[in-house]
Chains A and B, each alone.
Chain A
Amino acid sequence: MRELTITTPEHVNIKLEPAGSGSRFLAVLIDSFITTAIAAVIYSVAVNIVPRLVAAAIFVTASFILTWGWHVYFEVKRHGRTIGKRALSLRVVDARGLPVTLYQSIVRNVARIVDFLPAFYGVGALVNMLRSDRKRLGDILADTLVIRESQPLAYRGELGAERHFNPLRTPRALRLIRHRVSLEEREFLLALCLRAQKMSPAARYDLMEEVAKTYRQKLDIEEEAISGENLVRDLTAVLFSRMR
């Protein structure tokens, strides 16, 4: 999935992550459930006050306004999030990163009628899956984007526990680590150590040996006695220790 980058006037690049069709479908499902429920409540109240056919007329009008107005209202007035989108951390934004305008919102929601063909999200889901920016037809016409917002930060500072004796703490090894291990690899190794507990033993062993093999070559480590997992943990500990 392609990330879109927006450069702010402060020359900072903000990355927007387009949301996939699954979560968007679910959000629409939640929204249509709520709008249908509201229309049903309106009908059941109206039917007790006015004649049945008038209540039906009110129901038809109310569900029409709710179906089409719901999205426009929330997108413009509630910062791009309907209740369903909010529940799934989605947001509609202008493809340039600004808030959606009323005009864009109207156009993208009018086009929903084709995106919904032949049944609940047919064309829309198809177009969405074919495009790297995950736009449906309405998004294309209005130049808008549905993005996924990351969850609040739950950053775990914990590291792979360092063994008392770390064979990588030699000047030569430390120098090679500094020169040959990139930032991305550092994050990868941390993630690997943190997730190791959740893997099946066989998979954990194979993966650790595989990774360790790469770093044995990269860092010229000849010592065969250390297990793959120990090597990976030692390496991670060195990378994240404060003495770098």
Chain B
Amino acid sequence: MNIESFISERRPVWQHLDTILKRAEARGDALSRDELHELVELYRRTCSDLNRVQSNTANPEILGYLNQLTGRAYRFVYRAAHETPVWATFKHLISTEIPATFRRERLAVAAAAAAMLLGVLFGAAAVLIDPANGRRLIPPMFFTERPRDRVDRIEKGSERIDNVEKALFFSASLYTHNIKVSMLAFTLGALTIIGTILLLFYNGMILGAIATMYILDDVPLFFFAWVGPHGALELPAIIFGAAAGLVAGRAFLMPGNLSRAASLRRVLPSVWRMLIGTALTLVCAGIIEGSFSQFSYRVFPYPMKIAVAVLLFTGLMGYLFLRGLGDEA
């Protein structure tokens, strides 16, 4: 085969295919019916050209070019027809898929929750045995003053968040930070499993230690009113995100008789739904934490804040455990 004349003969076909692909790529998606037919035909011709070139030359330039061209066309011709309108997908995600995934992956969720709970118990026990342990467990940046002093300062002094602007900014910083933390928890879990378990245990331990210190210092109501409203959403969300990491980690590290890639592909639908669920819940939690949680008892009395916390928690649990329960069978 004379490669030079082959190239000059077939070049128009390739260039035509390239033009169509470029146009389609620039426009996002839609190809007209005629263009699609043309694309498929040109794709087939280029395929057979690639085949011939592969068996007749080793020239990297021509091989590279045809590989690239055929690969691009291949992705158009054989793309999986999974695309649905974004809004409908989103509605379906919220109304059925997230709770269903939560229930399907309940083992991973339970494991993540258990890791955090163990941390809480460990932290609480450590402080109960010797209150000085609190200082050893809690990073210094969280431990600036005694709980009772802090309560006095916050409840007697001026409000920390006294206008909408401050609340908005504080909320935005909180939820972006929290989402990043749960992304980290997810990825650590997906790669090592144990990383997420340790992260959950550590955070639970700090929470347990701080809670116990407030209780020992005789200001428990303040603590629960302060952490409760956002914690009711935030803690489950982080557990949920970490559970997504455990699901992916199990698929990745223990693929059984599947290949790692195939095993990961199988859990992908669960994992991304859990991640979206986590992010959305954390946005809500961040907004509450940036505003409602910060007000003193003069604005919102403790019972009211605790009632809101209980309401949010039962609402979230009701949604996760009961929503669409009948539809599944």
Q: Which chain A residue shows the least CB distance to B195?
A: A114
CA distance A152 to B15 in the complex (A): 9
B75 touching A93 by the CB < 8 A rule? Answer: yes
Q: Which residues of A contact B169 (CB under 8 A)?
A: 53-54, 56-57, 60
A60 to B191, CA, bound (A): 29
Of A97, A99, A151, most buried by chain B (CB within 10 Å of CB) is A99
Cβ contact within 8 Å between B48 and A97: no
User: Residue A101 contacts which of B80, B179, B276 (CB distance < 8 angstroms)?
Assistant: B80
Chain A nearest Cβ from B99, distance in angstroms: 18
Is A143's CB under 8 angstroms from B265's CB? Answer: yes
**A111-B264 contact, Cβ under 8 Å, with A12-B48, A155-B7:** no
Asked if B70 is at the interface of the complex by the 8 Å CB criterion, the answer is yes
A14 to B44, CA, bound (A): 13
In angstroms, Cα B169 to Cα A146, docked, is: 37
> Can you pick out 30 interface pairs between chain A and chain B where the beta carbons lie within 8 Å of each other?
A6-B71, A14-B67, A14-B71, A15-B63, A17-B64, A57-B172, A58-B172, A60-B172, A60-B176, A64-B179, A93-B71, A98-B80, A101-B80, A102-B272, A104-B268, A107-B248, A107-B271, A110-B187, A111-B187, A111-B190, A114-B188, A137-B187, A141-B187, A142-B268, A149-B71, A150-B68, A151-B64, A155-B59, A157-B7, A184-B58
Q: List A residues at the B interface (Cβ < 8 Å).
A: 6, 8-17, 51-54, 56-58, 60-61, 64, 77-79, 81, 93, 95, 97-99, 101-104, 106-107, 110-111, 113-114, 137, 140-143, 147, 149-155, 157, 183-184, 186-187, 190, 240, 242
Chain B residue numbers with a CB within 8 Å of A60 are 169, 172-173, 176
A107–B75 contact, CB under 8 A?
A: no
Say yes or no: is B303 at the interface (Cβ < 8 Å to chain A): no
- Contact code string B155-175 (vs A, CB < 8 Å = 1, else 0): 000000000111011011100
- Complex interface bits, B127-165 against A, C-beta within 8 A gives 1, otherwise 0: 000000000000000000000000000000000000011
Which residues of chain B have C-beta atoms less than 8 A from A149's C-beta? 68, 71-72
* B68, B75, B187: the one within 8 Å of A99 (CB): B75
Interface assignment of B20: CB less than 8 Å from any CB of chain A = no
17 further contact pairs, Cβ within 8 A, besides A79-B25, A98-B75, A107-B271: A8-B70, A10-B48, A14-B50, A16-B67, A53-B168, A64-B176, A93-B71, A99-B75, A107-B268, A107-B275, A143-B265, A149-B72, A150-B64, A153-B11, A153-B62, A154-B61, A187-B59
Cβ–Cβ < 8 Å partners of A95 in chain B? 261
Chain B residues contacting A151 (CB-CB under 8 Å) are: 64-65
Give bound CA distance, A143 to B79, whole Å: 16
Q: Does B285 contact A (CB under 8 A)?
A: no
CB-CB under 8 A from A11, the residues of chain B are 51
B29 to chain A, nearest CB (A): 8
Q: Chain B's nearest CB lies how many Å from the CB of A98?
A: 6
A109 vs chain B, min Cβ distance (A): 9
A97 close to B252 (CB less than 8 A):
no
Is there a chain A Cβ closer than 8 Å to B47's Cβ? yes
| Given A79-B25, A141-B252, A187-B59, CB of A14 within 8 Å of CB of B264 | no
Closest B residue, CB atoms, query A51: B165
B165 touches A54 (CB 8 A): yes
Tally of B interface residues using CB under 8 Å: 67
- Across the interface, B56 reaches (CB within 8 A) one of A10, A12, A183, namely A183
> Which residues in A have their C-beta under 8 angstroms from that of B11?
153
> In the assembled complex, which residues on chain B have CB atoms less than 8 Å from the CB atom of A13?
54
**In the bound complex, CA of A142 to CA of B264 (Å):** 7
Residues of B within 8 A of A150 (CB): 61, 64-65, 67-68
Among A10, A95, A190, the one with the most B-chain Cβ atoms within 10 Å of its Cβ is A10
Contact mask for chain B residues 62-96; partner A; CB cutoff 8 A; 1 contact, 0 none = 11110110111011001110100000000000000
Q: How far is the CA of A47 from the CA of B165 in the complex (A)?
A: 12
Nearest A residue to B278 by beta-carbon distance?
Answer: A110
Bound-complex Cα distance A155 to B15 (A): 13
> Given A16, A51, A61, A153, which contacts B71 in the complex, CB threshold below 8 Å?
A16
Complex Cα–Cα for A154 and B51 (A): 20
Q: For the complex, is B28 an interface residue (Cβ under 8 Å from A)?
A: yes
With A98-B78, A107-B268 in contact, do A10 and B44 touch (Cβ < 8 Å)? Answer: yes
- CB atoms of B70 and A61 under 8 A apart: no
Tell me the complex Cα distance, A184–B60, Å.
10
Knowing A110-B187, A143-B261, A242-B2 are in contact, say whether A99-B79 is a contact too (CB < 8 A).
yes
